[in-house]
Structure 1
Amino acid sequence: MSEPELSSSSSSFYIGSPMDTDTENSEQLYVHSISQAGRLLPSSSRWNSIEVDFNLFPHARDPSTYGSLPSRYSKSVDFKLTITNKTHFKRFVYAAGAIVFLILLVSLLLHFLLDNKNQHAAPKDLTLALQNALLFFDAQKSGVLPKDINMVKFRGDSGLEDGNSSLVGGFYDSGNNIKFSFPTAYTITLLSWSVIEYHQKYEDIGELDHIKNIIKWGSDYLLKLFIPSNQTSPGSSTLFSQVGSTSNSTSPENDLNCWQRPEDMRYSRPVFSCDDTASDLAGEIIAALSAASLVFKEDQKYSTSLTKTATELFSVVAKVEEDPGRGFIQGTYTMKDDCGGEARGFYNSTGYMDELVWGGTWLFFATGNTSYLRYATQHLVSAQNEELSIDKGIFYWNNKLTAIEVLLTRLRFFFDLGYPYEESFILSTNNVDSLMCSYLSPTTHKTQGGLIFLKPNDYGSLEYAATSSFLSKLYSDYLDLLHRSGSGCIDGAEFSLQQLRDFSISQASS
């Protein structure tokens, strides 16, 4: 008998058999809660439980809805008040009126004084900052640009001969015209995650369609990077890691030293490829396609094509581990010169297990197949052991561990699967608490303006600050949905939701 799968519909998670395709006809999971447990527990039927709608998107509670709730108190209570002394009553009314007047006067004075003070401070328009950030991705697009929705008017078609026209599309690196697959996949994963969690906020500022267009531009390109081995002639699969080069044997011009518009490129652009031992590259592509499939879940055909490629690629890299007798072992894409030799100087990868766990976790979210979650939790400790000391607590393209732990904590909070995942879930939650404590610690390096310096000697400080802002905001929202006021640190200290939110905003506006 096959193991049940945890599947996702457009609005909820449910338990059903692998053959269930209609959410309405599938068996629902019911849960209940007791105060001693501190979490939701499985129930056998709807009569002793509440049916939980686990939407992938946390929703902010709307205060306007509270007014529609019926009062717990009767509106027809007669207190039978009588006035025994009219003089004292008049004095009471006058005194109460004077107090109310003074409160209003003080409130108005404070309002105008604070407004006058704030006029001298520079406005921090985070919406404008987000819109400009999205325009950056539009400016980096490669391939045939659609004229009707081209957001950057000075850009045109480019890179049309990449990979003999089989690798057209994607994004150029920021500073040259090379297309690196590894950071591109990481970018699509992170952008997709932000939409999964905060799609309503994107919609509120009119940017949801815009960012989905950017994600699809990247996911379309990622679909081209994986070429499975021919089943009739077994061999290694192919992953394309790079288009363009920092050197050119036939011409002094290349993508690095020739500073020009990509529309004007006339030199050859070599393609770098890997086999299926490039485990980190494979894991990141799996994560990106899986996360993007959730963004486009309403487009069933496209979403299915993304998950299909992700599952095929995962089966390839998993087989490498299961069958070491194939003559090669898992590794990083920058380990081999013909795969990531040039990328080593730009996006050198120091490990691969975090990407495989990252990919397995996202593939579980996309498909509901618990075998992917089992893989992720079984290899979590290996990923932790592989983490470099200088990367601890930092989420960026070379280290996904902290983000993995946030995702596993999300599962523990909102869909506690219990055994055999509980140990990994608890470990992840404890590590996330410690991570939040480190963000807020007074001993952590920060500028005078409050910008966190997670790698003081590294040039990418803004990247690390941005991801710490994202993770702290996510965790504060998760705790808020659980009606928790905060959490604690190993040393006994505590932090509040407001502290996390203040930190998150400070990193985005410092």
Structure 2
Amino acid sequence: MFAGKRNLKRVITLFSCVAMLSTTILIPMKNVSAAGYDYSLALKNAIGFYDANKCGKDVKTNNIFDWRGPCHTKDGQDVGLDLTGGYHDAGDHVKFGLPQGYTASVLGWALYEYDEVFKATGNKTKMLEQLKYFTDYFLKSHPDADTFYYQVGDGEEDHNYWGPPELQSEDRPTKCVANKNNPASDVLGETAAALAIMYLNYRDIDSAYANKCLQAAKELYKMGTTNKGPGDGQYFYRSTSIYDDLAWGAVWLYTATGDSSYINDAKEFIVVKNESGDDPFKKRWTMCWDDMYVPALVKLAEITGEKIYKDGVEYNLNYWMYDIQTTPGGLKYLNYWGVLRYAAAASMVAAIYYKQNPNQGYLDLLKSQIDYILGDNPEKMSYVIGMGNKWTQHPHHRAAQGAIGYADNANTAPAKYLLLGALIGGPGADDVFKESVYEYQYTEVAIDYNAGFVGALAATAKHFGNLNIPDVTKTPIPNPTPTPTSNTYLVGDVNHDNNINSIDYALMKSYLLGMKLPENTFFESEADVNGDGDINSVDYALLKQRLLGMISKFHVEE
């Protein structure tokens, strides 16, 4: 089992008998100092990379790459919808469901866990911009409660084209849809997680938008659990289990809502083995688009505190620290295809779990793998384009490569444009890197590659970048268990929608400012959260503390 599967037969046919290229870019070293690597700059560049893979009408908006522009502006026309937007998968231009849902959820998790790091390094605004580009597309792709379009473009047809997306045919199919007749529990679980996390990250910025994301997350999750089965994704992204994805969606919906039914679902799903029969509590893999068992265990351990989930996480991390194949140069070597994405993802998981169990070995794993990626390796090169003084000149990425077609080996020329911030696949088990656009296992880039890398960089910047940011473990909104009041609604549920969230907080603020509110949107009986017979700033402050998880219940509920 491994991620990033591609059509080997097709690639071998197209790229046979080609000599390995060995050109590299050499510039003065700028990003490494005596104190170490510039993790904040690496984080900035890794986030910015996503601009290179944007799709749709608004690609140029705030794009750091002036060589990218609008493309595929008619996506969805074959089903009568506007499905423009989203991100191209890798060096190709298909919008696949699993890697987009995975990437958006992992990037969102990184921001959720390391919000202060993104703020301190000046990267939060750009990070939110990238996340919203994902969720805007997800919301477009979900026209009603029972439908979700999750793939635009045909992998076979697309991979026969070598050129920039701006010049590719606008006539491409809306390939895959989830509905009552077509299950896609894996895609729906991942995407539900991404939308639920966006709610958490965005509720204090735009509560209306955040609540749209949460509602869509609930609907997609319901689709995935009501009609269980894997999605399509052609053979490029074939899932070996749906239950890890559903567990991942469930833990985040619980975190967003406090509804215990979600955590009960997660406990049920996490024990179901994948096709290979792997024990979910003794995993020898790591977080990737086809395996979300370990990150789901991290969240279950955090939420429940139960030993079974902690043991599952620690078994996996012990394997990564002590037992996994390690190259002579120190790289943890899980699989030959895009090896660095796994090392980065495992490092992110280790750093986040460190908050629950401050084992120094987890931070040692993190730093060793990130430093290897940035240049502390036998090749003395950076595996992140544009960092350090040496990196690949042949990333497997059509837009950056800039050539048109395969004629006369046009696609083998050095990349025309700098694909700043892209994490490439990485070296072999002997630490040797093969510099060729045809060695796509080594030189390919993809949105899922950078996802765990961004999270790991944020953690590295926190622990080794002199930011002096303390560990803060966020707690979910607790499952409300109020004592009875004058009606059946929850204390703090000022709009009677059976949920305590940022809408209640915004309504409370409007009420205290004397603003006129629409009828039946504000109920004073639930707004007096401290029970003193008055609605004032004290109630407002207590409601905020409840939403932030600082208090588990209001005094009147005790």
Give TM-score, length-normalised by structure 2.
Answer: 0.56
What SS does structure 2 have at the residue aligned with 1:294?
Answer: helix
Q: Does 1:245 align with 2:154?
A: yes
- Structure 1 residue 391: Cα displacement: 6.7
Q: 1:124 Cα deviation (Å)? A: 2.2
Paired residues, number: 332
Q: Residues 384 and 179 (structure 1 numbering): CA distance in 2 closer, same or farther, change over 3 Å?
A: closer
On the 8 A contact 1:188/1:218 being kept in 2, the answer is yes
Q: Which stretches in structure 1 are left out of the alignment for 5+ residues?
A: 1-118, 230-236, 248-253, 321-329, 335-339, 414-424, 481-496
For residues 324-344 of structure 1, give each alpha carbon's deviation from its aligned partner in whole angstroms, at most 9, with x where no partner exists: xxxxxx22113xxxxx33xx1
Alignment of 1:440-459 (within 5 A): 440-441=321-322, 443-455=323-335, 458-459=336-337
Of 303, 310, 322, the match for 1:411? 303
2:198 paired residue number: 292
Cα-to-partner distance string for 1:219-263 (whole Å, 9 max, x where unaligned): 11111223436xxxxxxx33323111234xxxxxx4212211111
Alignment of 1:294-373 (within 5 A): 294-298=200-204, 299-320=206-227, 330-334=228-232, 340-341=233-234, 344=235, 346-373=236-263
* 1:476 alignment counterpart: 354
What do residues 83-120 of structure 1 show as CA deviations (whole Å, max 9, x unaligned)?
xxxxxxxxxxxxxxxxxxxxxxxxxxxxxxxxxxxx99
Larger mean CA deviation between 381-390 and 155-164 belongs to 381-390
- Aligned equivalents of 1:308 and 1:459: distance in 2? 37
Q: Which amino acid aligns with 2:229?
A: G
Q: In the superposition, relative to structure 1, how do residues 266 and 403 fare at CA in structure 2: closer, same or farther (>3 Å)?
A: same
For residues 105-157 of structure 1, the C-alpha deviation after alignment (integer angstroms, 9 at most, x for no partner) is: xxxxxxxxxxxxxx997952222222221121011111123656222111111
Is this contact kept in 2: 1:384–1:401, CA < 8 A? Answer: no
Write out aligned runs for 1:487-502 (5 A).
497-502=359-364
Residue aligned with 2:47, SS: helix
Task: State the 1:314 CA deviation.
Answer: 2.1
Displacement of 1:386 in angstroms is 6.7
CA displacement, residues 253-295 of structure 1 (integer Å, 9 cap, x when unaligned):
x421221111112352111123342111111111111111111
| 1: CA distance, partners of 2:339 / 2:38 | 21
Unaligned runs of 5+ in 2: 1-31, 373-558
What corresponds to 2:307 in structure 1? 426
User: Retained in 1: the 8 A contact 2:105–2:197?
Assistant: yes
CA 1:438 to 1:146, structure 2 compared with 1: closer, same or farther past 3 Å? closer
Distance 1:440 1:397 in 2: 22
**TM-superposed deviation, 1:426:** 2.1
Structure 1 residues 374 and 213, CA, compared in 2 at 3 Å: closer, same or farther?
same
Matches of residues 160-179 of structure 1 in structure 2 within 5 Å?
160-164=73-77, 166-179=82-95
State the Cα distance separating 1:383 from its structure 2 match: 4.5
Q: Deviations over 1:41-98 (max 9, x none)?
A: xxxxxxxxxxxxxxxxxxxxxxxxxxxxxxxxxxxxxxxxxxxxxxxxxxxxxxxxxx
Letter in 2 for 1:294: L
CA separation of 1:428 and 1:385: change in aligned 2, threshold 3 A: farther
Match of 1:107 in 2: none
Cα distance per residue 1:148-180 (max 9 Å; x no partner)? 622211111111100116100000111111111
Change (3 A) 1:385 1:366: farther
1:151 aligns with 2:64: yes
Provide the C-alpha distance between the structure 2 equivalents of 1:169 and 1:212, rounded to a whole number of angstroms: 16
CA distance in structure 1 between the partners assigned to 2:35 and 2:163 by the alignment: 35
* Larger-Rg structure: 1
SS at match of 2:220: helix
Q: Give how far 1:406 is off.
A: 0.6
2:408 corresponding residue in structure 1: none
Structure 2: distance between partners of 1:289 and 1:192: 9
Partner Cα distance (1:296, 1:362) in 2? 14
Assess, with a 3 A threshold, how the Cα gap between structure 1 residues 193 and 387 changes in structure 2: closer, same or farther.
Answer: farther
Deviating runs (4+, > 3 A) in structure 1? 119-123, 383-393
CA contact (8 A) 2:109 2:197 kept: yes
Q: What is the correspondence of 1:381-420 to structure 2 with a 5 Å cutoff?
A: 381-383=271-273, 388=278, 392-413=284-305
Q: Work out the CA distance in 2 between the residues paired with 1:396 and 1:260.
A: 28
Contact 1:143 1:158 in 2 (8 A): yes
Q: Distance in 2 between matches of 1:120 and 1:355?
A: 41
Alignment partners' CA distance in 1, 2:165 and 2:51: 13
Question: Does the 8 Å contact 1:141/1:170 carry over to 2?
Answer: yes
Q: Percent identity?
A: 31
Q: What is the distance in 2 between the residues matched to 1:294 and 1:352?
A: 24
- Matched with 1:380 is 270
**Equivalent position of 1:7 in the other structure:** none
- Structure 1 contact 383–401 (Cα < 8 Å) conserved: no
Residue in structure 2 matched with residue 486 of structure 1 by the alignment? none
SS of corresponding position for 1:273: strand
Letter paired with 2:259: N
Deviation at 1:358, TM superposition (A): 1.0
Contact 2:142 2:149 survives alignment (8 Å): yes
Per the alignment, do residues 290 and 386 of structure 1 end up closer, same or farther by CA in structure 2, a change over 3 Å counting? farther
Do structure 1's residue 464 and structure 2's residue 373 form an aligned pair?
Answer: no
How many angstroms apart in 2 are the aligned matches of 1:271 and 1:426? 45
For 1:284 and 1:227, locate their aligned partners in 2 and report how far apart those are by CA, in whole Å: 18
In structure 2, the partner of 1:89 is none
Q: Partner amino acid for 2:296?
A: I
Contact 2:248 2:292 survives alignment (8 Å): yes
C-alpha distance in 1, partners of 2:37/2:103? 25
| 8 Å CA contact 1:361, 1:373 repeated in 2 | yes
Matched residue of 2:346: which SS? helix
Distance in 2, matches of 1:148 and 1:171, equals: 14
Distance 1:347 1:427 in 2: 30
- Between the two structures, name the one with larger relative contact order (CA 8 Å, sep ≥ 6): 2
**DSSP-derived class of the 1:274 partner:** strand
Match of 1:182 in 2: 98
CA RMSD of aligned residues (A): 2.3
Give the CA deviation at 1:362: 0.9
Give the equivalent residue in structure 1 for 2:111: 195
Structure 1 residues 388 and 163 mapped into 2: Cα distance closer, same or farther (>3 Å)?
A: farther
| Aligned residue number for residue 504 of structure 1 | 366
Q: One-letter code of the match for 1:502?
A: D
Tell me whether 1:142 sits opposite 2:32 in the alignment: no
Residues 463/198 of structure 1: CA separation in 2 closer, same or farther (3 Å cut): same
Query: Which residue of structure 1 aligns with residue 134 of structure 2?
Result: 218
